[in-house]
Amino acid sequence: MAAVFVYKISEETGQFDIIRASILSITPDQRLQMLIVGFSFGAFLEGAAGFGAPVAITAALLVGLGFNPLYAAGLCLIVNTAPVAFGAMGIPIIVAGQVTGLDSFQIGQMAGRQLPFLTLIVLFWIMAIMDDWRGIKETWPAVMVAGGSFAIAQYLSSNFLGPELPDIISSLASLICLTLFLRRWQPVRIFRFEQPAPEAAPSGTQRYTLAQIVRAWMLFLTATVTLWSIPPFKALFAKGGALYDWVFSVPVPLLHELVARMPPVVSAATPYAALFKFDLVSATGTAILLAAVISVLFLRMKPAAALRTFGETLKELALPIYSIGMVLAFAFISNYSGLSATLALALAHTGQAFTFFSPFLGWLGVFLTGSDTSSNALFAALQATTAQQIGVSDVLLVAANTTGGVTGKMISPSRSPSPAPPWGWWGASPICSGLPLNTA
C-alpha cells in the first residue's frame, strides 16, 4: 500500500508527467518506445507499485504515442513478466518466505539467478510480435542493452541487497543504459505503425529542465535510498540483535504449538509454532511510508492533499488487500490443517521429475489468481515440503514457483482487464484479440 501511495503522490503533484515526458522524448521508433515504456518504465512501476498499475499506465502512455489500445495492452501484458517476481518492493518473495519459514533473502537470491534468461527471451519475443524477424534483426543491439543491463542489475541486487530493490535498481539501470545508447545509435529504418490509432492523444511537446526531471525522479529515488539500508538495519531486529526486544511475537490462541508436524514430513514429531510477528519498525512498508512522508515535505504537498491521496490509495487497494488477505488465510489454514503436507507427500512420489513440473505449479497459481503473491501464498509451502521429501533444495523449488508464476500473469483472466480502465474496456477477450493469433 505504501508503494502505491508513493506513486500516487507523484501523480498528484504532477511529477509523474515530468517522468513520462523525460522517457518519451528519446526515440521515434515504436519498437524502441516499447522497450523504454513497456519494459524499462513498466518494470520501474512494477517495483514501485505493482498490482496491475504498470500495465494500465504503460499501455495508456503507448496509446498516446500512436499504438492501437488493444495492441498496446496485449504487448504490455507480455512484457510485464520478468519484473513481477520482485514487484511492489519484493512482496511475492517476502510472502513466500513467510508461508514457508525460509529466508526471503535466499529465495530472492535464487529467483535472481533464474530470471535474467527470461528477460532477454521476452524482449526478443516482443520485437518479433511487432515486426517479425526483421524487428529482431534491426533492434537486437537495443534489446541486448535494455535486457542485458536489466538482467545484470537484477542478478546483482537480488543476490547482494535483498528482494525489496531489484526491480527499482534494474529498471533504472535499463532506462539509463538504453537512453545513453540511443543517443548514439538508432535503427536504420524507423518503425511506425501504418496508421496511428484513432484514439491516440498528442504526446505533448513541453520540455523540462534537468533540475525539474531530477526533482521528479527524487520521489522514487528517496524510496530506493530509504530501502537500501534495510539489510543491516534489519539485522538489529533479528534474534540476538540490539533491538530485538522491539519485535513482538504474539502466540495465536488455541493454535500455537497445539498442532504437531509428524513424520515423514519431519524427522520427528515437532510442535508447530503459530506466532504473529509484529515488526513494524523494520518492515519494508514502514521504510516506503517514511519515503512517502519525506517526499510530501520535499514536494511541499499540502497536508489535506496528502491525506486525500492516502484515502484514495486505501479505497483503490481495498479489494486487493482483502483478496490477498483471504488467500493468505487459506494458505495458513492449508499449512496447519496438513493439507499442504498431504499434497506434498503425494507429489513426492513423482521423485526427481517434480523439479521439472515445479515452475508449472507456480504458473497455474498465477493463471488462476492473477497474482504471483497469491500463488506463492498457496503453493510455496507445498513446494518446500515436496523438495524436502525428494531431497532437492527447498529454496530452489520455492523460487521456481515464483519465477514460473511470472509467465502465467500475461494470460491470466483476472489480469487481462487491468489495462482496460484508461479506455473503459473490460474483459480478457478484446485485449487478447489485439494481438496476432499465433501470439494469443
From 281, 297, 331, the end of a domain falls on 281
Chain mean pLDDT for the chain: 82
Q: Does the CA dihedral 17-20-22-27 come out positive or negative?
A: negative
DSSP assignment of 374-401, as one string? HHHHHHHHHHHHHHHHHT--HHHHHHHH
83-135: pLDDT as tens digits: 999 988 788 999 999 889 899 999 999 999 999 999 999 999 999 999 999 99
Give SS3 for 251.
Answer: strand
Query: Is residue 336 in some structural domain?
Result: no
Assess whether 155 and 256 both reside in one domain: no
Query: Is residue 95 in some structural domain?
Result: yes
Cβ burial of 303 (10 Å; 0-12, 13-18, 19+) is: exposed
Identify the CA nearest to 91 among candidates 181, 162, 193, 186: 162
Assess whether 417 and 274 both reside in one domain: no
Assess whether 168 and 33 both reside in one domain: yes
Q: What is the pTM of this model?
A: 0.74
CA dist 388 and 51 (Å) reads: 32
Q: How confident is the model at residue 419 (pLDDT cuts 50, 70, 90)?
A: low
Q: What was the pLDDT predicted at 352?
A: 86
From 248, 281, 314, the end of a domain falls on 281
Assess whether 271 and 177 both reside in one domain: no
Q: What was the pLDDT predicted at 397?
A: 95
Do residues 237 and 281 lie in contact, with contact meaning Cβ atoms separated by under 8 Å?
yes
Q: How confident is the model at residue 239 (pLDDT cuts 50, 70, 90)?
A: confident
Assess whether 40 and 172 both reside in one domain: yes
Query: Is residue 26 in some structural domain?
Result: yes
Assess whether 135 and 259 both reside in one domain: no
Give the total number of structural domains in the chain. 2
CA dist 203 and 192 (Å) reads: 15
Residue 283 clears pLDDT 50, i.e. is over it: yes
Assess whether 277 and 168 both reside in one domain: no
Assess whether 146 and 245 both reside in one domain: no
Q: What was the pLDDT predicted at 384?
A: 92
Q: What was the pLDDT predicted at 202?
A: 46
Q: How confident is the model at residue 275 (pLDDT cuts 50, 70, 90)?
A: confident
From 253, 281, 309, the end of a domain falls on 281
Assess whether 36 and 125 both reside in one domain: yes
Q: How many residues does the chain have?
A: 440
Query: Is residue 335 in some structural domain?
Result: no
Query: Is residue 122 in some structural domain?
Result: yes
Assess whether 246 and 102 both reside in one domain: no
Query: Is residue 417 in some structural domain?
Result: yes
Assess whether 57 and 168 both reside in one domain: yes
Q: How confident is the model at residue 225 (pLDDT cuts 50, 70, 90)?
A: low
Q: Residue type for 255, please?
A: L
Q: What was the pLDDT predicted at 290?
A: 80
Assess whether 24 and 116 both reside in one domain: yes
Query: Is residue 85 in some structural domain?
Result: yes
Residue 431 clears pLDDT 50, i.e. is over it: no
User: Could you tell me the residue range of the domain that residue 103 belongs to?
Assistant: 14-187+413-432
Q: What was the pLDDT predicted at 422?
A: 44
Segment 203-215 shows an average pLDDT of 73
38-76: pLDDT as tens digits: 999 889 888 876 766 788 778 877 876 778 888 888 898
Distance of CA 313 to the CA centre of its chain: 18
Q: What was the pLDDT predicted at 196?
A: 52
Query: Is residue 228 in some structural domain?
Result: no
CA dist 233 and 227 (Å) reads: 10
